[in-house]
């Protein structure tokens, strides 16, 4: 038997219903915030991710589905959605058009990670990217949108926020941190020693307990922000307070992608185990420039759909649509015609095997239909149908054309 690849799942019943419900809910909310749908390719040039997500990140360094295609191009399955959207934004000269552009997308992402609960090699994200707003108000709006989506799905969460500074304060902080790491060289783990050379701030979210204890003493970016970043972060907190959205400031929240500046955030759930981040994002004011576009401020997020599935509280399944069946083979053509007419505006499922009333009612119940419609010899001769409303439990015989 051929099986799916490790870490790559099918989305089948009963999860498919939750998956679709998630997309419907998130899409409706994103539209309410003025975002419109975009698609970008699953396969992109490898350079795109090297230059955006960053060569020193785990995603690019260890987790890419990268290969040379038949035309000798170095390509890679997208590990995330932001880079492709920014590439499309620049390629289509939207950076030159000016104004504000708000997009949402959803689809599969690929990371060659070690699969475990909540960590897949193919997973699905729902993401939003906003271009052209140089204001922390947009950051708050984006965070509020995620809170709206999670709340609409009945999911409780904790929000962690941090500021990663900008080109004015981050380089100085990085130097201070490297100075601190130099002093404690013999106490940091191998990974951190490597990160010190490639991307020092990533040491802050090291999973090694000894490192974490040490880094309690490390200089904090929060204490070294420039005036503009500090004031934006203060506004962010104030607006979240005013909006009634609870948050924790986590000075070690650095995110696993290199393109962020200023606001960074993560939504976590305490109900799903070790892989607890259900959404993450932040501001990336320099990325459009890094990908050869005109400098454009931007902020966005992505939700990991699989991690949410088990947390979604579905609305009570209401009965809907029609189940139709015949009691004898001669009545089946009429049922088929009725079904075609009714499908112009309703869900109709037809049972082809002629059966008695009781069996049909069972079938209608099994698919959660609202109405069970049956034609037998009498109904056929009189141009009528037997119909039962399975919610109100009322039944009647009515002319077929009044259905």
Sign, Cα dihedral of 344, 347, 350, 355: negative
**Residue 281 or residue 297: which is nearer to ligand HAM going by CB?**
281
Q: Which of 54, 200, 300, 325 binds ligand HAM (CB under 6 A)?
A: 300
**Residue 53 or residue 375: which is nearer to ligand HAM going by CB?**
53
Binding range to ligand HAM, per CB under 6 A, among 123-131, 217-225, 339-347, 382-390 = 123-131
- Decide: residue 237, CB within 10 A, 0-12 exposed, 13-18 middle, 19+ buried: middle
Would you count residue 44 as binding ligand HAM (CB under 6 A)? Answer: no
Q: Could you give the CA distance from residue 81 to residue 85 in angstroms, rounded to a whole number?
A: 6
List 123's β-bridge partners, or say none.
Answer: 109
Q: Which of 200, 281, 325, 376 binds ligand HAM (CB under 6 A)?
A: 281
The pattern of x and - marking residues 257 through 276 that bind ligand HAM according to CB under 6 A reads x-------------------
Sign, Cα dihedral of 390, 393, 398, 401: negative
- Answer whether the bond into residue 14 is a cis peptide, omega within 30°: yes
**Residue 119 or residue 237: which is nearer to ligand HAM going by CB?**
119
Q: Could you give the CA distance from residue 39 to residue 43 in angstroms, rounded to a whole number?
A: 12
Q: Which of 107, 108, 256, 321 binds ligand HAM (CB under 6 A)?
A: 256
Residue 169 tokens, joined: 């304060």
Would you count residue 40 as binding ligand HAM (CB under 6 A)? Answer: no
**Residue 309 or residue 324: which is nearer to ligand HAM going by CB?**
309
Binding range to ligand HAM, per CB under 6 A, among 122-130, 167-175, 357-365, 395-403 = 122-130
CB within 8 Å of 140: residues ≥ 6 apart: 236, 239, 240, 243
Q: Which of residues 149-188 bind ligand HAM (CB under 6 A)?
A: none
**Residue 163 or residue 331: which is nearer to ligand HAM going by CB?**
163
Nearest alpha-carbon partner for 211 in 173, 166, 180: 180
Would you count residue 80 as binding ligand HAM (CB under 6 A)? Answer: yes
Q: Could you give the CA distance from residue 20 to residue 253 in angstroms, rounded to a whole number?
A: 31
Distances (CA, A) of 177 to 16, 192, 195, 305: 46, 12, 12, 35
- Minimum CB separation of residue 123 from ligand HAM in Å reads 4
Q: Could you give the CA distance from residue 26 to residue 21 in angstroms, rounded to a whole number?
A: 9
Binding range to ligand HAM, per CB under 6 A, among 75-83, 310-318, 380-388, 392-400 = 75-83
> How many residues form the binding site for ligand HAM (CB under 6 A)?
26
Q: Which of residues 124-143 bind ligand HAM (CB under 6 A)?
A: 125, 127, 129
Binding range to ligand HAM, per CB under 6 A, among 111-119, 243-251, 339-347, 391-399 = 111-119
Would you count residue 200 as binding ligand HAM (CB under 6 A)? Answer: no
Binding range to ligand HAM, per CB under 6 A, among 161-169, 303-311, 330-338, 373-381 = 303-311
Q: Could you give the CA distance from residue 220 to residue 61 in angstroms, rounded to a whole number?
A: 26
- Minimum CB separation of residue 253 from ligand HAM in Å reads 11
- Minimum CB separation of residue 109 from ligand HAM in Å reads 7
Nearest alpha-carbon partner for 231 in 262, 253, 265, 266: 262
Distances (CA, A) of 321 to 87, 367, 375, 395: 44, 9, 17, 16
- Minimum CB separation of residue 102 from ligand HAM in Å reads 12
- Cβ–Cβ < 8 Å for 21, 310: no
Q: Could you give the CA distance from residue 79 to residue 98 in angstroms, rounded to a whole number?
A: 28
**Residue 142 or residue 361: which is nearer to ligand HAM going by CB?**
142
Q: List residues binding ligand HAM (CB under 6 A).
A: 80-82, 111, 113, 118-120, 123, 125, 127, 129, 256-257, 277-282, 300-302, 304, 306-307
């Amino acid at each position: 038997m051929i099986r799916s690849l490790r870490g790559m799942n099918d989305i089948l019943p009963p999860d498919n219903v939750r998956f679709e419900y998630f997309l419907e809910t998130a899409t409706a909310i994103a539209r309410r915030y003025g975002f419109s749908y975009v698609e970008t390719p699953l396969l992109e040039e490898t350079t795109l991710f090297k230059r955006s997500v960053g060569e020193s990140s785990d995603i690019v360094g260890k987790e890419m589905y990268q290969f040379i295609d038949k035309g000798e191009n170095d390509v890679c399955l997208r590990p995330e959605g932001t880079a492709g959207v920014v590439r499309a934004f620049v390629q289509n000269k939207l950076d030159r058009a000016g104004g504000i552009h708000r997009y949402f997308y959803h689809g599969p992402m690929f990371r060659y990670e070690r699969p475990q609960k909540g960590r897949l090699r193919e997973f699905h994200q729902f993401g939003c990217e906003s271009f052209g707003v140089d204001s922390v108000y947009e950051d708050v709006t984006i965070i509020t949108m995620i809170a709206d989506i999670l709340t609409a799905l009945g999911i409780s969460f904790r929000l962690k926020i941090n500021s990663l500074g900008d080109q004015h304060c981050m380089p100085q902080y990085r130097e201070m941190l490297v100075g601190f790491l130099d002093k404690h060289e013999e106490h940091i783990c191998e990974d951190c020693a490597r990160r010190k050379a490639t991307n020092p701030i990533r040491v802050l979210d090291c999973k090694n307990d000894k490192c974490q204890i040490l880094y309690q003493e490390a200089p904090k970016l929060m204490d070294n922000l420039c005036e503009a970043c500090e004031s934006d972060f203060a506004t962010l907190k104030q607006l979240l307070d005013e909006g009634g959205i609870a948050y924790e400031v986590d000075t070690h929240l650095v995110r696993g992608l290199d393109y962020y500046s200023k606001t960074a955030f993560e939504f976590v759930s305490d109900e799903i185990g070790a892989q607890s981040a259900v959404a993450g994002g932040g501001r990336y004011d320099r990325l459009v420039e890094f990908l050869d576009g005109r400098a454009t401020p931007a902020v966005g997020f992505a939700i990991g759909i699989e991690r949410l599935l088990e947390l979604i509280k579905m609305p009570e399944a209401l009965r809907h649509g029609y189940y139709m069946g015949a009691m004898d083979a001669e009545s089946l053509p009429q049922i088929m015609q009725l079904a075609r007419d009714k499908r112009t505006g309703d869900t109709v499922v037809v049972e082809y095997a002629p059966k008695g009333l009781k069996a049909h009612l069972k079938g209608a119940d099994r698919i959660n239909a609202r109405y069970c419609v049956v034609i037998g010899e009498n109904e056929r001769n009189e141009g009528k149908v037997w119909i039962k409303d399975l919610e109100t439990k009322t039944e009647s015989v009515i002319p077929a054309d009044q259905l």
